Amino acid sequence: MSFLPIRYPKLFYCKALSRKKDRPKTLYLSFDDGPNPLVTEKVLEILKKYKAKASFFCKGKNADLYPEIFNKVKAEGHTIGNHSYMHLDAFKHKNKKWLSDVLRKSPVSEAYYFRPPYGHIFPWQYRVLRKKYKLVFWDVMVYDFRTDYSLKKIKKILFNKVRDGSIIVFHDNIASSQKMLPALEFTLEYYTKRGYKFEKL
The answer to whether 32 is a known catalytic residue is yes
Total residue count of the chain as it appears in this document:
201
Considering the candidates 120, 144, 171, 172, report the single residue annotated as catalytic.
171
Note if the bond before 117 is cis, omega within 30 degrees.
no
SS (H, E, C) 114-173: ECCHHHCCCHHHHHHHCCCCEEECCCEECCCCCCCCCHHHHHHHHHHHCCCCEEEEEECC
Considering the candidates 32, 33, 139, 172, report the single residue annotated as catalytic.
32
Tell me whether residue 58 is exposed, middle or buried, using C-beta atoms within 10 angstroms of its C-beta: 0 to 12, 13 to 18, 19 or more.
buried
The answer to whether 33 is a known catalytic residue is no
Q: CA 133 to CA 129: how far, in whole Å?
A: 6
- Residues recognised as catalytic: 32, 171
